[in-house]
Amino acid sequence: MSTDIKSKIEALSQELEVHNYNYYVKSAPTISDYEFDQKLKELEQLETEYPEYASPNSPTKRVGGDITKKFNTIPHEYKMLSLSNTYSKEEIIDFETRVKKLIDGPITFVCELKYDGVAIGIKYVNGELNRALTRGDGEKGEEVTANVRTIRTIPLKLPKGDYPEDFEIRGEIYLSKQAFAKLNESRLAKGEVAYMNPRNTASGTLKLQDSSIVAERGLDCFLYGLYSKDQIVDSHYDSILKAQEWGFKIPKPENRFIAKCSSIEEVMNFINHWDQERKNLDFEIDGIVIKVDSYEKQENLGFTSKFPRWAIAYKFKAENVSTILEEVTYQVGRTGAVTPVANLRPVLLAGTTVKRASLHNEDQINKLDLHIGDSVYVEKGGEIIPKITGVQIEARSNTALKVVFTDTCPNCNSLLVKKAGEAQHYCPNHVGCPPQLKGKIEHFIGRKAMDIDGLGVETVDQLFEEELIKNYADLYELKFEDIVDLERMGKRSAQNLIDGVEASKQMPFERLLFGLGIRYVGETVAKKLAKHAKSIDKLIGASFEELIAIDEIGEKIAESIIDFFGIQENVEIVQRLKEYGLKTEVEEKAASEINDVLQGKSFVVSGVFEEFSRNELKDKIEALGGKNVGSISSKTDFVLAGDKMGPSKKEKAEKLGIKIISEREFIEMIS
C-alpha cells in the first residue's frame, strides 16, 4: 500500500511539472486550469495524509507558505562577477579590438538582452533544485531557495536528461510590466502606496520572509548561464540551447532575445534593433551583453581583478529629467576625499524619487558652471547613481549665486589640500576627522577585509559615538561588559560581536593588509605585496625603489604606501594589531609554498588536462611567481598544452620558437 501511495505521489508530481512547463514556459497548455487545480488538490491531500513521501520540490511548493526568519549568507561555488559597462559604441569596437589582439582565429560573439532584474544562481543536484543564491558581493550570496521555488518558470525537478549530477544555472529574476501593473492596481484598491518600478519590486519580493506572498506576485525568470565541473558543451550559445533541452526557460533565439554574431556590424545591428524595440517588451531591459562564445577562448582571455575580459555590457542611454539645484553639501570619505553633493528638488526619475546627485569634484562644478537655483538635467549613470548632465542657463536668475567649492572640511574645519595633477580635494586631518575614522573602521570590518561577524555600519557609529573606539585597533580592546548595555545590543549580540572580533585574528596577512585602507591598495595589490614582502615590518621599511620593483606596483601605489607608513599614528596602530595577535606576516606553511621557481616566466595555457583544470594550472603558475597571458607572442616563454589545443596556437608557437610543454612536463618543472 505504502509503495503504491509513494508511486502515485511521484507520478502526479511529475505530471504536474510537465503541465506547469507547458503552460508557463512553452505557453502551450495541454489541460484546462480547472483540471490542473484538481490534480494539484489531489497531490496536496496525499502529501497531507502521507507527509513522509512529500518532496521539498513538490509542485505544491509553488504556492509558498514557508517562513524564512533569516536569509543565510553562503559562498558561491563559482564567483558571480559583474561586467564592465559602456555607454559608447566606440568602446564596443575597442573591446573587439582587444579580444582579437589576444585571441587567434575567427571570433564569434553572442549578444543577449541585459535584463533589469535580480541576478540569481540556482544549484541542481541529481536533477532537483537544491538551493538558490542572490549575487550578494559576488563571492557570497543570500539563500532565497523557498522564494525561488514559487516561481513557476523555474523547474523544481528536471525530466531525465544528459545534465551533470551537480551543476548551477544562472539568470535574472524579474517582474513583467503586466504583473507589476496588476500588483499596483491591487495595492491602490486596498488604499496602499503603489510601488515605484518593477526592478526594485522584484528585488524586494525575493527577500520577503513569507513565500506565499512571493508566490502571489508572479515573478518570472530567464536562465542563461551554465556552470559545472564537467564540460557540457564547447560554447556559451550551445549551453543555452542545452539548458532549453533540460526544461529551463531561456532567452529564445527565435524571439531574437539572443543571437550569434560573427562581426562587429552584426553586434551593432543587434544593439540598434533593441534600442528601438525594447519599449515593446513586457519586461524591462537596460542594455545588451556581448560575450565571446567559445569557452576555450573565454578561458584564454581570462579576467581582470573585477571583470571577465571576454564580455562587456552596453547600456542604453539613460532617461533624464529637469529639476532645481537647491544646495551643494560635502561628504568626506575614509581616505579624506571630499565629494560635493547636489541637493535637488525631489523628482521622479526611472521609477525612483531622486533628491541628491554626485558632483564628483571642483572641476565638474566649474565645467557645469553651477549656480544655486539652477534648472539642471539629471540622469542615472548606470541607471543607478544620479548625476547632473547639464544646466538650463537661459532659465538662470540674475541673482543666482555661483557654487564655490569649499576650502575647509565640513566635519572638522581643517583646510583642504589638493595635490598637483589630481582633481580631488582632501581633508588632511586623518587622525581627528570623524567620517574618515569611521570610514576606515567600516572598510576594515568588511567582507573582503577582516569580515567581522556581528559588526555593521550602525554598530560602528554607535561604538564611535560612545567613544569606545576611535580606530580599528580599538576593536580588539572591546570587552563584553563595555557593550552589553548599549542600546539595541543585548547579551547575544554583544557576545557575537566579541566572538567575531576574536575570529578575525585568523584572517591571512593579505586580508589585513587590504583592511588597513591604504589608498590604491585593493585586494589584488594586497596579495602581491603580501607575497613579496612576507611581513608588515618589511613593508613598513621598504623604499620607493624596492616597492616599484614588485610586479604591477607603480609609482602612485608606492608613494601611497610610503605616505601611509610615514604617519606615526598608522605605524602605532599596526604595531597594536600585531600585539593583539593578528597575522602581520605570511604564515610559515603559506610561505613555504611561495617560491619563485617560475618568476618572470609567462605562460599560455590551452587545451584540456587530465590532473588539473585550466584554472588550477593558472593559479599554480601565479603562486610560483609566473604570469598567465592570453595569447602567444614573442615574449611568451612557454605554451602549456593539453588535449584539444587549437592548431593555430600550436602553429604560432612553433613559428616563434616558443617551447610547448605537456602537463607532465609542467609538474616536473615545478616539483
Q: Are 338 and 409 in contact (CB under 8 A)?
A: yes
pTM of the model: 0.69
The pLDDT of residue 382 is: 54
- Tell me which of 626 and 557 has the higher pLDDT: 557
| Closest of 334, 393, 382 to residue 358, by C-alpha | 382
Encode pLDDT of 345-354 as tens digits.
Answer: 999 887 778 9
Provide DSSP, 236-303. HHHHHHHHHHTT-----GGGTSEEEESSHHHHHHHHHHHHHHGGGSSS-EEEEEEEE-BHHHHHHH-B
Tell me the C-alpha distance between 538 and 13, whole Å: 64
The pLDDT of residue 487 is: 87
Tell me which residue has cell 550569434.
260
Encode pLDDT of 289-302 as tens digits.
Answer: 999 999 989 988 88
CATH of the domain at 515: 1.10.150.20
Q: 89 and 31 share a domain?
A: no
Q: 586 and 607 share a domain?
A: no
Provide DSSP, 339-366. EEEEEEEEEEETTEEEEEEE--SHHHHH
Q: 528 and 491 share a domain?
A: no
CATH of the domain at 33: 1.10.287.610
The pLDDT of residue 619 is: 79
Encode pLDDT of 333-383 as tens digits.
Answer: 998 999 999 999 999 887 778 999 989 899 999 999 999 999 999 987 655
Tell me: pLDDT of 646 over 80. no
Residue 50 in domain:
yes
Tell me: pLDDT of 144 over 80. yes
The pLDDT of residue 384 is: 63
Q: What is the helix (H) or strand (E) element at residue 206, kind and residue range? A: helix 198-206
Q: 226 and 327 share a domain?
A: no
Grid coordinates standing for 487?
A: 542600546
User: Residues 61, 114, 438, 527: which is the catalytic one?
Assistant: 114
Residue 130 in domain:
yes
- Tell me which of 324 and 351 has the higher pLDDT: 324
CATH of the domain at 166: 3.30.470.30
Which 3 state secondary structure label does DSSP give 514? helix
Tell me the C-alpha distance between 665 and 440, whole Å: 47
Task: Tally the domains of the chain.
Answer: 6
Encode pLDDT of 395-434 as tens digits.
Answer: 999 999 999 999 999 999 999 999 888 889 999 998 899 9
Tell me: pLDDT of 272 over 80. yes
Encode pLDDT of 158-182 as tens digits.
Answer: 998 999 999 999 999 999 999 999 9
Q: 188 and 268 share a domain?
A: yes
Residue 542 in domain:
yes
Average pLDDT value for residue range 598-626:
82
Dihedral angle sign, alpha carbons of residues 366, 368, 369, 370: negative
- Tell me which residue range forms the domain holding 472: 434-506
Q: 149 and 244 share a domain?
A: yes
Average pLDDT value for residue range 191-201:
85
The pLDDT of residue 176 is: 95
For 615, residues 6+ apart whose C-beta sits below 8 A from its C-beta are 299
Q: Are 27 and 220 in contact (CB under 8 A)?
A: no
Boundary of a domain, candidates 472, 506, 540: 506
- pLDDT band for position 581 (cuts 50, 70, 90): very high
Q: 278 and 132 share a domain?
A: yes
Boundary of a domain, candidates 506, 534, 564: 506
Backbone angles phi, psi at 210, to 5 degrees: -100, 110
The pLDDT of residue 589 is: 55
Amino acid, single-letter form, for residue 490: G
> Which of 57-66, 203-212, 324-333, 482-491 is predicted least confidently?
57-66
Going by their DSSP bridges, the two strands 638-641 and 602-606 should be labelled as parallel
Backbone angles phi, psi at 342, to 5 degrees: -85, 125
Average pLDDT value for residue range 151-159:
94
Residue 501 in domain:
yes
Boundary of a domain, candidates 454, 476, 506: 506
Residue 656 in domain:
yes
> Which of 514-523, 587-596, 629-638 is predicted least confidently?
587-596
Helical ranges in 453-489 per DSSP H: 457-465, 480-483
Encode pLDDT of 509-544 as tens digits.
Answer: 999 999 999 988 988 889 889 988 899 999 999 999
Q: 497 and 515 share a domain?
A: no
Residue 131 in domain:
yes
Tell me: pLDDT of 269 over 60. yes
The pLDDT of residue 202 is: 93
Q: Has 538 been annotated as catalytic?
A: no
- pLDDT band for position 632 (cuts 50, 70, 90): confident
The pLDDT of residue 142 is: 92
The pLDDT of residue 514 is: 95
Tell me: pLDDT of 671 over 80. no
Q: 155 and 229 share a domain?
A: yes
> Which of 441-445, 464-468, 593-597, 655-659 is predicted least confidently?
593-597
CA distances to 4, 87, 160, 181 from 352, in Å: 55, 21, 45, 16
Residue 648 in domain:
yes
Exposure letters 434-445 (e unless 16+ CB within 10 A, then b): ebbbbbbbbbbb
Q: 121 and 58 share a domain?
A: no
CATH of the domain at 372: 2.40.50.140
Average pLDDT, the chain: 89
Average pLDDT value for residue range 55-72:
79
Backbone angles phi, psi at 348, to 5 degrees: -80, 125
Tell me: pLDDT of 508 over 80. yes
Strands (E), 293-428: 311-315, 320-332, 337-349, 352-358, 375-381, 385-391, 425-426
CATH of the domain at 628: 3.40.50.10190
Q: 49 and 166 share a domain?
A: no
Residue 74 in domain:
no
Q: 237 and 165 share a domain?
A: yes
For 547, residues 6+ apart whose C-beta sits below 8 A from its C-beta are 553, 557, 558, 561, 562
Exposure letters 168-196 (e unless 16+ CB within 10 A, then b): bbbbbbbbbeebbeebbeeeeeeeeeebe
